[in-house]
Amino acid sequence: SAAPAPEPVAAAPEPAAPEVFSGRRPAAPERPVLDANGELTDYGKWYYERPSGYHKGVRDNVWDTATKADAPGTNAPDGNVYDPVTREPMDPADPWDMGHKPGYEFRKHQQSAAERGIGTKQFNKEHNNPDHYRPETPSSNRSHQGEDMTDDYFGD
């Protein structure tokens, strides 16, 4: 007699697709923003996503502060603004980025905000604090060369 037909093998279940969050963020988080390991959940990444811009006057304030030799964290001994990585002089008419000062990097602010469970209003207020920024050339800022690579956060 013939051997019995093999049992069909059940296909492995499809991994669950990550939940997609969209729309207006609530005033305060409505779901967990951190997992058991202290890492941002998908909801936390969405809730504390990088804002798209800055309040009126913040960029001008950052540039103006950088021209003052006595302002903390500036590199303008002669009233000029220099890129903190290349030390090349910068011109406000040329493209420049709002670079985070070392210790104020966005990833650290995002983690701190989640650990404190703050709402969107406070998160945006902190994001718009000009004391956390310095002018940087786009290439220096996007290379992350001038960042503090520790987990130390000096912000709120």
Is residue 17 very low, low, confident or very high in pLDDT (cuts 50, 70, 90)? confident
pTM for the full predicted model:
0.82
The full set of domain ranges for the chain reads 42-143
**Percent of the chain's residues with pLDDT above 90:** 72
Three-state secondary structure of the chain: CCCCCCCCCCCCCCCCCCCCCCCCCCCCCCCCCECCCCCECHHHHHHCCCCCCCCCCHHHHHHHHHCCCCCCCCCCCCCCEECCCCCCEECCCCCCEEEECCCCCHHHHHHHHHHHCCCHHHHHHHHCCHHHEEEECHHHHHHCCCCCCCCCCCCC
pLDDT at 19: 83
Q: Is the pLDDT of residue 73 over 70?
A: no
pLDDT at 78: 80
